[in-house]
Structure 1
Amino acid sequence: METYLAAAHFAPKTVLERRGNIGKFAQWASAQRSALTVDRIDRKQAGKYVSDVIDGMHPATQKKHLAGLRSYWRWLAARGHVTLPAGALMESGWPWDGQQMQRNGKRVERGSREEERPFTDAEIASLLAAPFPKGVDVEHANQIRDAIHISLLSGMRMAEVLTLWMEEVRESSDGVGLVFDIQQGKTDASVRPMPVHSDLISIAQRRLRDQRGHRCRATIRV
C-alpha cells in the first residue's frame, strides 16, 4: 500500500483518504471466515464488501471509497500482484468496476434543517481551553493548539494547515504583512496566498524560529 501511495504522488489529504480506505478493506478481508488476501478477491467478494461496508456510507463517501479501491487494484494488476481474468483490460479497476451501491437518502426530520452558522464565543472558548487527555505529549498538545488557532483565523482546510512549509510563509507582495503561500491542493484553485491574521503572526514567527537550522523538509507543520 505504501509503495502505491508513494508512486501515485497524491495530495496529502488524498493520501490519508486512500490509506484509510485500503486499511478499512484490509480489516474487513482479514475478519472473514477464511481470511482473504488480494489474490483471492474476486467480483463476488468485492460485491460482499460493497454490501457489508460501502452501502452504509454517505453517497459522496461511497463514490470516493470505491474509486480508491479501483485505483489500488489497477496498480496491483500493473505490478503483477493480482491476475486479471481473461478479457479484462489492464486499466480497469476489476473487480470493483460496475459495482452498484445502495443509495441511502438522508431523512429530513422536522426542525433538523439547521443552516451553517459561526461558532459562538462560548464554543470557541471551550474548544481552545479544553484539557488534553492524560498522557498527551506537551509538544504535541502545543502543535494541536496552534493548528486550531490557525484554522479558526484563516479558514484554511486542515490538510493545508498541517502541510505548511517554512518557505510558504512569506511577506505579502505589498510588504505590509505575512501570507501563507499555499502551493498544493485538490484543484488549481487551492494554490493561493492566504493573508495571515494579525493574531497568528506570533505563532507563525515562533514556528519559523523553532525550525531554523533544520533541513528544508523540517516544515512548520502544526
Structure 2
Amino acid sequence: MNIFRRGHSWAVRFHIPRERRADVGRAYGAATGHKAEIVKALGTSDRAEAIARRPKALEAIRQEVDARLVAAGLPPLHGDWKPAWAFAWSEPEAVITEALEARKEIADASPVEDETDEVWVDAPNGGLRRSTMSTSERDRKISTLQDVLRDRVDELENAGKDADAYIKTFWPVAFGEATPLGELLDRWIRDIEGGLRRQTIMGHRLAFRLLGEFLMTQGTRFTDTVPADEQATAHIRATAIETVTKKRVGEFPEWLAQGRHGLSAKTIQSRISPLKTFWDWAERKGYSEANPWLGATTGLKKRAEQQKVAKAEERPFTETEIVALLHADPDEGKRWKYGPAIFDLLRLGLLTGARQNELCSLTRGRVIEPSAEGGLWAIRVTNDVAKTKNAQRLIPIHPLVQSILERRLASAGEEPDALLFPELPPGGPDGKRSWTFAKRFSEFRKRVLGEDHHTDFHSLRRTFLTYMEEANANGASACTELVRDHLAGHKPQSLAGSTYVAKQFDRGLYDRAILGMVEKGMPEGVRAAL
C-alpha cells in the first residue's frame, strides 16, 4: 500500500522503476550510484489519516523526482507523455459546461463588499505604498477564477496546446459576454416537449444540426464538404447566440436548396420554422435582441405552391381504384400477418375518414355499442391518439363495416385497453402502431394499382370527405360542412362554426350524416363491392 509504520508515525515509500534507478541515483547524487526508493514522513500516527494523505504525498515525490531528473538533463520518470484525458477539460463541450458553472457561481455570489484587504499600490513619488481595498464575495470568486485560468493557460502552453482558443471560449461564457446555444436549446426543448410528439422534437433538433453544418462550412459555398452529424451538433451547441446574426445566416435557405441537401421550398420552411420559434422564445427571455429569421422564408410559400403544382398532388381514390382495392386479397402471393389488418382497416378508413393511427390503435374501450334506444355503433378518438384538440371526436360506424368491429372485439381481451389490432407493432419515434402498417399498406396499394399513383392510406380520408360533399349536394341534409368538420376532426373554418356554434351536436345527427354519405354520396360500384 506504499505506507508503513516508522516508530510511532507513518511514512510513505515511493518505488523507482528498475530501469530508471541509475538515472535517479545520479540526479540525487547517491553514493551507490542508484536509488531504488524514496521514503518521506506523513506526519501522522493515525493509519486512516496516513492512507488519506498517501496519494498527494506520492504525487509530490514524483514531481520532485521529475524536477531533479530534468535539472540533471535527463527525461522525467515516464517521459513527456500525458494521457489524452489529462486535458479533457479543454475540449469545447467541457469548456462551455465548466464556464456556465463558473458563470452561475459568479452570478450567485453576493456583490456586497464585506471584507477589506491590505494591498500595495503605486506611490505618488514612486515606489509602493500600503493601501486598503474592499472586496465582495463576487470579487473574490472572479479573482480565484482568474488565477485558475492563468494556471491552465500555462499548462496548455507547456503541453503545446492552443491556450488562446481555450480562453476565447471560456472567458466570454463565464463572464456573461456570450451564451452558447446548447444550454438555451435544452431549456427551450424542456419548455415545449410536453405538448409535442417525439417526431416533431426530432425535426427541431435536425433543423439545429443543419444550421450547425451550415455554420461549419460557411465560406466554402456549396461544396461537398460534409461534417459528421456529431460535429455539426457540437458546433451549434457551442455557438454563442449573440453571433447568430441575420447577415451570418442569410444564405441558409439558399444553402438548403442548392447544396447537397437539395430540399424543396416546403421542407426548407419546415426547417426554418423551429429556428424562428426558438429565437422568438430567446428574445422573450432576454437572450437575443432581434430574431435573425424574420423574413427568412419570404418567397418560399409561393415557390412551394409552384413546386406543388409541378409535382402531381395527392388526391382521393377514384371509384375504379377503390373497387379494385376492395376486391383485392391483401394476402395474395404473400402470406403475412398484415393481410387481415389491411382488409379491415381499408374498409374502416373509407367509411369513417379516420386517420391511420386513430384506427390502428383502436381499443375495446374506444368502441361504443348502440344503446337500448338504437343507433349506430361508433368509435371514439381520445386525447392520447388525437393529432389535435379538434381531433378528439366520436365517429359512427356504418352497418356495412359494423361486423369488422364485432369480429375484432370477439377476439380481443376484456380490458378496456385491449387492442383490436394487436398484430400491428408500435414503431417510430412516438411508438405509433401505424408506423409499420403504413409501409405494408403502401406495398399492397402499389401491387393492386401500380406505381404511378399519388395516393396513400390518407387518400381514404380524402375519399370519405368527397363522398360527404357529394351526398350534401345530392340532398343528404345532415352532411353539412360543419358536420363534416366534426367527423373529420378539423377546426371549422368559418367564424360562426369555430366560435359561436356548439362544439358537438346531437349524436343522431352524426349517425344520419354517415348513413346519408353512403346512400347519396358513395358510388354504386363501391357500395356493391362493400
Q: Same fold (TM over 0.5)?
A: yes
1:20-61 residue CA offsets vs partner (Å, 9 max, x unmatched): 736866997899622134231355689266445585143xx5
Give the corresponding residue for 2:401: 200
- 1:100 matched to 2:317? The reply is no
Residues 146 and 96 of structure 1: CA distance in aligned 2, closer, same or farther (over 3 Å): farther
Q: Which residue does the alignment assign to 1:47?
A: 252
In structure 2, the residue corresponding to 1:106 is in which secondary structure? helix
Which of 177, 190, 193 aligns to 2:391? It is: 190
Q: Relative to total residues, which structure has the larger helix share, 1 or 2?
A: 2
Cα distance in 2 for partners of 1:100, 1:175 equals: 57
Aligned partner (choices 213, 226, 234) of residue 33 of structure 1: 226
CA distance in 2, matches of 1:57, 1:150: 35
Alignment of 1:52-91 (within 5 A): 52=259, 53=261, 56-58=264-266, 62-68=268-274, 89=285
Structure 1 equivalent of residue 469 of structure 2:
none
Aligned residues: percent identity? 19
Equivalent pair of 1:165/1:220 in contact (CA under 8 Å): yes
User: Pick from 387, 409, 413: which aligns with 1:212?
Assistant: 413
**Structure 1: unaligned runs, 5 residues or longer:** 75-83
Equivalent in the alignment of 2:350: 152
Show the 5 A alignment for 1:1-12.
7-10=193-196
Query: Which one is further off, 165-174 or 125-134?
Result: 125-134
1:155 offset after TM fit, Å? 1.4
The equivalent position to 2:318 in structure 1, one of 107, 119, 123, is 119
Q: Could you state the TM-score of these two structures normalised by the residue count of structure 2?
A: 0.29
C-alpha separation in 2, matches of 1:55 and 1:67: 14
Report the equivalent of 1:168: 366
Query: Relative contact order: is structure 1 or structure 2 higher (C-alpha 8 Å, sep ≥ 6)?
Result: 1
> How high is the TM-score relative to the length of structure 1?
0.60
Larger radius of gyration: 2
Contact 1:170 1:180 in 2 (8 A): yes
Shift of 1:141: 2.7
Q: Residue type matched to 2:356 in 1? A: M
Aligned pair count reads 197
Distance in 2 between the 1:56 and 1:8 partners?
29
Coordinate RMSD, CA, aligned: 4.8
